[in-house]
């Protein structure tokens, strides 16, 4: 449902910020298929532009791997460092365009899947309504 008086960008930014807050993520970024950041939210110690650039590189890697391995649809790519910091990239499609919702979190056992799934559904609904 659209929110009168709010732009589509503001609605998407609200969804991304809400996801970051509810998941207690360090950063949350929504990018298009070319890695262009659409909406992002990060804590004081995190640089949104850097995260968006990393997600753009991951998007390129995802495309190459899909072609080389013959994968049709990629749902999720994750990277974890030895300290437990984790970057999760969830890909999804809207109107024939690929998007990535990426979250950066600390802690191997921190839940994220349900929150990101709900946010992806909300993003799709928001775009559909505008």
pTM above threshold 0.85: yes
The residue-averaged pLDDT of 26-32 equals 92
76-80, strands of its sheet edge to edge: 37-42, 27-32, 97-106, 85-94, 76-80
The residue-averaged pLDDT of 34-61 equals 83
Q: What percent of the chain has pLDDT over 70?
A: 97
Name the more confident of 14 and 130: 14
Residue with tokens 């850097």: 50
The residue-averaged pLDDT of 73-77 equals 85
The residue-averaged pLDDT of 60-65 equals 83
Q: Is 21 left (phi over 0), alpha (psi -120 to 50) or beta?
A: alpha
Phi, psi (rounded to 5 degrees) for 99:
-135, 160
| CA 108 to chain CA mean position, Å | 18
Q: pLDDT grade, residue 86 (50/70/90)?
A: very high
Cβ partners under 8 Å of residue 127, min gap 6? 8, 12, 94, 95
Q: Which domains does the chain have, with CATH numbers?
A: 8-129 (3.30.450.30)
Asked if pLDDT for residue 54 goes beyond 80, the answer is: yes
Asked if pLDDT for residue 4 goes beyond 90, the answer is: no
Structure-token pair, residue 1: 């449902």
The residue-averaged pLDDT of 27-43 equals 88
């Amino acid at each position: 449902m659209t929110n009168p008086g709010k732009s589509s960008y503001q609605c998407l930014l609200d969804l991304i910020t809400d996801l970051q807050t509810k998941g207690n993520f360090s950063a949350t970024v929504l990018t298009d298929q070319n890695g262009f950041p659409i909406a992002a939210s990060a804590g004081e110690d995190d640089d949104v532009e850097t995260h968006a650039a990393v997600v753009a590189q991951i998007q390129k890697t995802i495309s190459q791997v899909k072609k080389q391995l013959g994968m049709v649809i990629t749902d999720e790519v994750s990277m974890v460092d030895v300290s437990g910091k984790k970057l999760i990239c969830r890909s999804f499609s809207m109107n024939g365009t690929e998007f990535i919702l990426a979250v950066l979190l600390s802690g191997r056992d921190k839940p994220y899947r349900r929150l990101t799934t709900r946010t992806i559904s909300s993003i799709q609904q928001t775009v559909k309504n505008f």
